[in-house]
A and B are shown apart, each in its own frame.
Chain A
Amino acid sequence: MRKLLFLFLFLAALFLANTAAAQKFFTRDAKVKFNSDTPMEKIEAVNKSASCLLDTQSGKMAWKVLMKGFQFEKALMQEHFNENYVESSQYPNATFEGEIVNLKDINFSQDGKYNAITKGKMTIHGVTKDVEMPGVIKVSGGTVTLNSNFTLVCADYDIKIPAVVRDNIAKEIKVMVEGVLKPK
């Protein structure tokens, strides 16, 4: 009888430890939106199929987005973006690989909103840069929602803007990412 009880407690402890700590969360419906606002032109694009994988135990996070999946209202802008600026035929993806720096401040087992700092490598147009950005992690009903707003500088990723449209494109592009991750 005691052996059974012990076994039960052991299994229960194992189960609890697993659900609380070691879990992978994933989405392939994350949204990445960017815009560039200048007095000359307003450029905006959205991608609704970014993927994000998060390991809540290690805090490691990986994002991937297909450049050709960015939708612009203007077909010509989309063409220029793909053909001239990000050269998506050569570099079809943009990725981020990093980790949550303040993992200990986030309790993935407790519903709530947590401020997070993520640090890692951002690769766009074949160029990799070390980046660090703030974000908000919302834990709610078994899902993890990630939200972050940051800026990117075109020149940092070797994205060449021709002189003739230099005033039409902002030096710093505003990026917004949002993803609702579910347990994998």
Chain B
Amino acid sequence: MKKILLVLLALALVGGSVGYYLWNKPHENIRSAKTDMAIDAAQLFQEYNVDETASNAKYLEKTIAVSGKVKEVTKEEGSVKVALETGNEFGVLCVLDEFSSHPRTDFPVGETVTFKGKCSGLNFDVQIDRCVEVK
């Protein structure tokens, strides 16, 4: 009888620990995440504007490394957004990850940069969230 109780208690502890870990697990470490694909900002924007559904099937929620020239940097309410030039009114918007630390949050206009992040879809710009700069 005692043995069964002990086994049950052990199971409960394991279950509880797993639950606690899951509940408190951190957001994926984007810096160490494997890049699913590397693409140029202009090409990514073009693909999305030609066929949003097909592009979502290809890129949505994937870890993408996107390169382009800095068009504009907006800082608002703790979020830093870097717009990459595509030659159009809109382009690729890279939103810096709020769960990572960033060596720099100022990006000179015209400089070519590469950001790794998760593609969230098209909202005028192609939006890449959770971005970190990569070389």
A binding-site residues for B, Cβ under 8 Å: 28-29, 31, 48-51, 64-69, 71, 74-76, 78, 88-89, 92-93
- Please tell me if the beta carbons of A66 and B123 are within 8 angstroms of each other in the complex: yes
Residue in A closest to B90 when the chains form the complex, CB atoms: A28
Interface residues on B, range: 20 to 34
- Please tell me if the beta carbons of B23 and A68 are within 8 angstroms of each other in the complex: no
Question: Which residue from A66, A74, A89 sits with its C-beta under 8 Å from B127?
Answer: A66
Q: From residue 105 to 135 of chain B, which have CB atoms closer than 8 A to chain A? A: 118, 120-125, 127, 129
Question: Which residue from A51, A66, A74, A76 sits with its C-beta under 8 Å from B120?
Answer: A66
User: Can you report 15 A-B residue pairs in the complex whose CB atoms are below 8 A from each other?
Assistant: A28-B124, A28-B125, A29-B74, A29-B76, A31-B77, A48-B76, A49-B81, A64-B123, A65-B123, A66-B121, A66-B123, A75-B26, A89-B61, A92-B56, A92-B121
Query: How many whole Å from A125's CB to the nearest CB in chain B?
Result: 15
Q: How far apart sit A78 and B98, CA to CA, in the bound complex (Å)?
A: 14
- Please tell me if the beta carbons of A49 and B127 are within 8 angstroms of each other in the complex: yes
A69-B60 contact given A28-B123, A29-B76, A74-B23, CB 8 Å threshold: no
- Please tell me if the beta carbons of B98 and A75 are within 8 angstroms of each other in the complex: no
Query: How many whole Å from B59's CB to the nearest CB in chain A?
Result: 11
Query: How many whole Å from B55's CB to the nearest CB in chain A?
Result: 10
B93 contacts the other chain (CB 8 A): yes
Question: Which residue from B22, B74, B118, B123 sits with its C-beta under 8 Å from A93?
Answer: B123
Residues in B whose Cβ lies below 8 Å from that of A48: 76-77, 79, 95
Question: Which residue from A69, A74, A75 sits with its C-beta under 8 Å from B28?
Answer: A75
Q: How far apart sit A10 and B74, CA to CA, in the bound complex (Å)?
A: 40
Residues in B whose Cβ lies below 8 Å from that of A64: 123-124
